[in-house]
Amino acid sequence: MSDMIKDVSQGISFVCNNVAEYGGDPNRIYLMGQSAGAHIAACALLEQAIKEAGEGDNISWSVSQIKAYCGLSGGYNLFNLVDYFHNRGLYRSIFLSIMEGEESLRRFSPELMVQDPNITNAVSLLPPMFLFHGTGDYSIPSDASKTFAETLQRLGVKAESILYEGKTHTDLFLQDPMRGGKDDLFEDLVTIIHADDAEALAKDAPPRRRLPSLVPALKLDPWLHLH
């Protein structure tokens, strides 16, 4: 798990330090991950904030460069997920081996880490946190995003959980875009990204025509995204 977080942090560092060379705007960098990606990205962000709040050694990118974090269908408190995953086929022993043992669960649980009074200064550095989740998600229950957002709010972080009624673990980023028509997640993301740009909001494209015939056969197994 530590190596995954390190890899993600290095990727963020590359983007922050090179985005302008590729025509990107260094003042408009958003960090987003889905499922395990949402969890790892949140861990990387918090770990970086802790480094910055400390002595700041070996800092190759700054949390202040991230305009907002967007987590989709993520899990942020591993203690609440161990038994849940076990009962759905991701056995406890395998999960704990991925997470470097039971003693590391707290370290890799952003919801718990942010409540540590010793890192209050680090938590204050976090960017706005937007947590998206479908209420029909059986891979990671939507309460994972809801409770993390509530915890962040109590600590003074700008945070919001955005729930989509009946949507599964993959609907929001896979099935819905392929179906066409109204894409709730896309519209919410565009609204967040263009929140301070009235001109861009006015130019946002209208919803695409819905194409129901393309997707009926695509019925993904909800077990596909167990992590």
Instruction: Judge whether 35 counts as a catalytic residue.
Output: yes
Please, is 64 exposed, middle or buried when counting C-beta atoms within 10 Å of its C-beta (0-12, 13-18, 19+)? exposed
> Concatenated DSSP letters for 79-113?
GGTHHHHHHTTS-HHHHHHHTTSGGGTTTT-HHHH
Question: CA-to-CA distance for 91 and 184, rounded, in angstroms?
Answer: 34
* Token pair belonging to 162: 């955005």
Instruction: Judge whether 137 counts as a catalytic residue.
Output: yes
3 state SS of 130: strand
- Sheet-wide strand order for 29-34: 29-34, 66-72, 129-134, 159-164
Alpha-carbon distances, residue 33 vs 14, 26, 73, 98, 150 (angstroms)? 17, 19, 9, 18, 19
The catalytically annotated residue of 39, 133, 169, 225 is: 169
The catalytically annotated residue of 9, 35, 73, 142 is: 35
The catalytically annotated residue of 39, 109, 133, 137 is: 137
Instruction: Judge whether 169 counts as a catalytic residue.
Output: yes
8 A C-beta contact, residue 191 and residue 56? no
* Residues designated as active site: 35, 137, 169
